[in-house]
Amino acid sequence: MRDLYDVLGVARAASQNELKQAYRKLARAHHPDTNPDDPKAEERFKEISAAYDTLSDVEKRKAYDQFGASGGTSAQGFDPNDFRDFAQERGFDISDLFGDLFGGGRRRTGGSRGRPRTRRGVDLETRVTLSFDDALRGARVTVPVAKDGPCGDCAGTGAAPGTSRSACPDCGGSGERQVNQGFFATSEPCRRCRGKGIVIETPCAACAGAGQARRTKRYTVKIPAGISDGARIRVRGKGLDGEHGGAAGDLWVVVQVLPSERFVRRGLDIIVDVPITFPEAALGAEIDVPTPLGERVRVKVPAGSADGKLLRIRGRGAPAQSGDDGALLVRLKLLVPQGLSTQQTEALERFAALDGASDPRAELFG
Ligand SMILES: [Zn+2]
Ligand SMILES: [Zn+2]
């Protein structure tokens, strides 16, 4: 954990005004929205916001100056958990003081001294639809993902820009009030600040003081060539943020591939129906067939090919992620001649007479 003054690049004696100016400059430069391609921007932005959140608040700054960098137990600097224990042992409620530093989630577990548990962020899922061709070629798609994150206007503080949050005057920032019931003294959440320990005099207009705003983030996702319908692509770390330093969840992109009018996919293989004439099937031929990527390849039809016969053309199916690419399977569709001329009829009758000896249905009655 870096020294908070270092994070903002100000002297320890900096005035509130200097802090504010330093913060604004940094927050603008590092805001995730202005750095969509830099995955570290969000981390830096959070660090900057958290530093400002503490130092802009007189009470918190005092506590930090007293216990933070100088009063800590470790030489490396400020360990939030050491600080938490240190303060709690002295009966000093700081559960709110640095809550925002650790991912925004505050967990008050009835006086438990346990450190907040890190929790991995939730995975998100989104769907994209690709054409048959794009799925084969591979594509870059931009997916919008709605996420709750620190409000851009107030940097997550909930206070209108130019104003700051302050410790709740009713509970002194503890978020709790002592209630005497006969012999017992219990505590209940402070009503004024609803247990948060802080009050916002002028709420940020954009997020109504919540500090969180739903933003649509757009991620560019590379879809590998040959992706199949229903495949799920994992984009690491683009799910919801973790809590208390936990890793962010993943974004899963579920791919829907639209059917093609001409081609049908079976695993990595792609089937195309190709009409063939009776003489071509009987005598054999070389014919041109279309590939899914719009090329034309020549294939040899062996003499005596039956209707429905599959001819395999290696490497012309869907690209494989590993191993061999799929094949293009040419399925022959035998055309039966229709509307014959007199000459054609005579020729076929001659053909039939020459072929005449065998009855193709003989076996059916055997
Ligand atoms: Zn806001
Ligand atoms: Zn209060």
| Ligand with minimal distance to 172 CA | 2
Helix (H, G, I), strand (E, B) or coil at 264: strand
Tokens (6 digits) for 96:
């709110």
Distance CA 174, CA 162 (A): 25
| CA 175–ligand 2 middle distance (angstroms) | 5
Burial label for 55, CB within 10 Å (0-12, 13-18, 19+), is: buried
Distance CA 86, CA 270 (A): 67
| CATH superfamily of this structure's domain 263-358 | Urease metallochaperone UreE, N-terminal domain (2.60.260.20)
Closest CA to 267 of 230, 311, 308, 298: 230
Least confident of 92-106, 197-211, 248-262, 321-335: 92-106
Helix (H, G, I), strand (E, B) or coil at 80: helix
Closest CA to 269 of 330, 331, 328: 328
- pLDDT-above-70 percentage for the chain: 85
Tokens (6 digits) for 219:
């991620």
| CA 153–ligand 1 middle distance (angstroms) | 5
Q: How far is CA 326 from CA 7, 20, 70, 178, 356, in A?
A: 54, 61, 65, 72, 43
| Ligand with minimal distance to 193 CA | 2
| Ligand with minimal distance to 209 CA | 1
Indicate the fold that domain 1-116 takes in CATH. Helix Hairpins (1.10.287)
Distance CA 326, CA 206 (A): 53
| CA 268–ligand 2 middle distance (angstroms) | 63
Tokens (6 digits) for 124:
């998100």
| CA 127–ligand 1 middle distance (angstroms) | 30
Tokens (6 digits) for 236:
């690491």
| CA 17–ligand 2 middle distance (angstroms) | 26
| CA 189–ligand 2 middle distance (angstroms) | 8
Angle at 63 between CA 59 and CA 64, to 5 degrees: 115
For the chain, the domains span 1-116, 119-153+215-259, 263-358
User: Is the fold of 119-153+215-259 the same as that of 263-358?
Assistant: yes
Q: Are 31 and 41 in contact (CB under 8 A)?
A: yes
Q: Are 64 and 57 in contact (CB under 8 A)?
A: no
Q: How confident is the model at residue 115 (pLDDT cuts 50, 70, 90)?
A: low
Distance CA 97, CA 78 (A): 14
Distance CA 35, CA 28 (A): 10
Please give the residue that has the higher pLDDT: either 358 or 303: 303
| Ligand with minimal distance to 163 CA | 1
For 119-153+215-259, the fitting CATH number among 3.10.520.10, 3.10.180.10, 3.40.50.300, 2.60.260.20 is 2.60.260.20
CA atoms within 13 A on the CB side of 28: 7
Helix (H, G, I), strand (E, B) or coil at 212: strand
Question: Averaged over 266-290, what is the pLDDT?
Answer: 96
pLDDT at 114: 55
First to last CA, the chain: 89
Which pLDDT tens digit goes with each residue over 67-106? 765 333 333 333 444 444 444 444 444 443 333 333 333 3
Q: What torsion do the CA atoms of 14, 17, 21, 27 make, to the nearest 10 degrees?
A: 90
Which pLDDT tens digit goes with each residue over 28-44? 787 777 777 777 877 88
